[in-house]
Structure 1
Amino acid sequence: MTSPKKSELTRSRILSEGRALVLASGFGGLGLTELLSTSGVPKGSFYYYFTSKEAFGCEMLKDYVADYLAALDAIIARPVPAAERMNSFFSAALGGEAGSMADRCLVVKLAAEIADLSEDMRHILDQGVIAVCRRLAVLIRAGVEDGSIIAQPDPEAAATLLYSQWLGAAIIAKLSRSAGPLEQALADTQTRFFV
């Protein structure tokens, strides 16, 4: 196995630091000087790695979506009833060391901002949400089969509405600076889905 090249490590560091800065300030609030300073990259080097700020944003979102889906796939792969897996996924949204879904979700942070700013960035986030909903539909079907989830007439629609509820709860939690909306979403999910 070969180790990553220095340029790949630098690019990865820029993306990682950029994600943290975007979560703090939004995409519009991200200054390239601050990003490069935080990343420890010389000022003129940004365009070696990315053709534009939008290209950086697209790559950052692709990495974010890949990380998010990998974490969800790891939960889905657990050898426990589907309701327990779904509960684990949504319970993690309430928070932990990295904060709640309201603090760390780029969909919550950027959906409204980038929808009018960049069609490419909007599309990446939209496809990410669609992929999450498809995985949740798989969990719903698996739960119906193993008897841990209440049967839904349309698992895809149920999954989409469920994730929409969580995104809305995260936005309200961010506005209110309270975990209450996420706690309510978890209680509602458990009541409506779990046997």
Structure 2
Amino acid sequence: MTSSNYADVRQGIIDVALPLFRDKGFTGVGLTEILAAARVPKGSFYHYFGSKEAFGAAVIDSYFDSTLAHIDQLMAQAPDGRAALLAYFGDWLECQLSEDGQCLAVKLGAEVSDLSEAMRAALHRGTSGILARLEASIERGAADGSLAQGLDARVLAVALYQSWVGASLLAKINHDRAPLDTAMAGTRQVLDLKQ
């Protein structure tokens, strides 16, 4: 077996599991279901992953790799820091309202953080990557004049991200987009504040 075959099979199993985890959560998806969807035998699964928890961490890492690349692309196209932030949160809003776009961090965060240290660490790495990008965009906005000067970029990045995670949970609980719309309105208010 060549290394490209190894990577393709391993990534194929991960790719098959991602929508299953989005729909049913981690504990709601059995290994048999994953193996059937990926069309690989149980032995092959354990060749690539030591356990279901290690597999879950690999799925989360893969999700964040593609998510962070998407965020980088969105933000790079924005003319300034404020626009980069609005592009990111606008994309979040659209994704949360789509059938298959639910944020995996929101879906799995509470479920797996106490269940598996490996998956909690993968979630932490991924969300830290998002926060770093938000912080950089806030600093960019302060430098280019599209945001107020003197903002604590880290505090604002964390506050905005936490607001959107909470809004996403409430939208799911309420089966209503209103919390997401409120998060967007609050984000716009904060970003429009000038000293």
Scaled by the length of structure 2, the TM-score of the pair is 0.90
Instruction: Confirm whether residue 67 of structure 1 aligns to residue 41 of structure 2.
Output: no
Alignment of 1:22-171 (within 5 A): 22-78=21-77, 80-95=79-94, 99=98, 103-171=101-169
Alignment partners' CA distance in 2, 1:35 and 1:4:
22
Displacement over 2 Å in runs of 4+: 3-7, 42-45, 150-153
Q: Residue type matched to 1:115 in 2?
A: S
1:20 aligns with: 19
Q: Residue type matched to 2:189 in 1?
A: T
Give a deviation string over 1:101-130, Cα, whole Å, max 9, x none.
Answer: 9x5211111111111101111111112212
Gaps of 5+ in 2: none
2:178 aligns with: 180
The alignment partner of 2:71 has SS state of helix
Alignment partners' CA distance in 2, 1:121 and 1:99:
25
Alignment partners' CA distance in 1, 2:78 and 2:179:
30
Give a deviation string over 1:3-44, Cα, whole Å, max 9, x none.
Answer: 972332121111011111111111111111111111122344
Give a deviation string over 1:58-84, Cα, whole Å, max 9, x none.
Answer: 111111111111111112222512211
Instruction: Report the CA distance between 1:150 and its aligned residue.
Output: 2.5
Report percent identity of matched pairs.
Answer: 36
Alignment partners' CA distance in 1, 2:45 and 2:8:
14
Q: Residue type matched to 2:190 in 1?
A: R
Instruction: Report the CA distance between 1:144 and its aligned residue.
Output: 1.3
Alignment partners' CA distance in 2, 1:112 and 1:85:
28
Alignment partners' CA distance in 1, 2:154 and 2:171:
26
Scaled by the length of structure 1, the TM-score of the pair is 0.90
When the two chains are superposed, the root-mean-square deviation of aligned CA atoms in Å is 2.1
| Cα distance change, pair 76–4 in 1 and its aligned pair in 2 (3 A) | farther
Instruction: Report the CA distance between 1:100 and its aligned residue.
Output: 7.2
| 2:81–2:144 Cα contact (<8 Å) kept | yes
Instruction: Report the CA distance between 1:151 and its aligned residue.
Output: 3.2
The alignment partner of 2:77 has SS state of coil
